[in-house]
Structure 1
Amino acid sequence: MLPSENRLRRREDFAAAMRRGRRAGRPHLVVHLSGGTDPHTVGEDASPPRAGFVVSKAVGNAVVRNRVQRRLRHLMRDRLSALPAGSLVVVRALPGADGAPYDQLARELDAALERLLGGVRP
């Protein structure tokens, strides 16, 4: 589980990451990364990186969607330290993510983050 300070919860934050951020697609996921500035904290220290997940009904039924989201959340938790402070990350699961092995999802997430971060390996 992600710590509460690292979770995206507000619709505006999801929209900001998906509209203004950069995107890297892989066969089972699309990762959106918005820069290291949080518009909600003015004049304060930089907030920690925050992550959110989008798993649509196209992925499967509720049980399948929750399993995919738990797997992605666990993978993202281990990679938060490589993200810049204040960054917003949205990981969107694509249809077929439910059948992908855990290590394949990990490789795809690593490849997407590496592309978005400019070659810095998480």
Structure 2
Amino acid sequence: MIARANRIVRGDDYRMTVRRGRRVAAGTVVVSVVRRTADTAGPTRFGFIVAKTVGNAVTRNLVRRRLKGIAHELLQSHPSGYDVVVRALPAAPQATWPTLLEDVSRSFARGVEKAA
């Protein structure tokens, strides 16, 4: 589980990240990354969007748990001060763990490069 300090919990933060962030798409996810300003800098925060197009409730929750596990791994090795929203695409439930991990980590790294 991701600590509360590493989660986006406010709707305004989700909207701001999706609208203003640098968007990078992969086969299973779309990642939006925005660098926070100096006065709001802190740990990197993740948010997840898994729409009904991904599947039923059981499938959506499975995908969300997998994405949270990937975010937990990324927090260990990536820079702080970013807001990241990961939107799952309909192909996400069929993806294997290594594929999903690679798509999210590569998209996050490219988003950080663009946002910096």
Pairwise same-fold verdict (TM > 0.5): yes
Structure 2 gap segments, 5+ residues each: none
Q: Which has the higher contact order (CA 8 A, sep 6+)?
A: 2
**Count of matched residue positions in the alignment of Structure 1 and Structure 2:** 113
Give the number of the structure whose residues are more often helix, by fraction: 2
Q: CA deviation at 1:115?
A: 1.2
Give CA-to-partner distance per residue, 1:65-111, whole Å, 9 cap, x none: 000000000001111240332x1100000001001001100011121
**1:60 counterpart residue number:** 55
Residue 114 of structure 1 and its aligned partner are, at CA, apart by 2.0
CA contact (8 A) 2:42 2:80 kept: no
TM-score by length of 1: 0.86
Residue of structure 2 in register with 1:25 after alignment: 25
Q: 1:42-62 CA distances to partner (integer Å, 9 max, x unpaired)? A: xxxx32111000000000000
Q: 1:38 to 1:69 in 2, by over 3 A?
A: farther
Q: Which runs of 4+ in 1 moved over 6 A?
A: none
User: 8 Å contact 1:36–1:84 — kept in the other structure?
Assistant: no
Over the matched positions of the two proteins, sequence identity in percent amounts to 39
Mapping for residues 33-112 of structure 1, pairs under 5 Å: 33-37=33-37, 41=40, 46-81=41-76, 82-85=78-81, 87-112=82-107
Distance 1:69 1:38, change over 3 A: farther
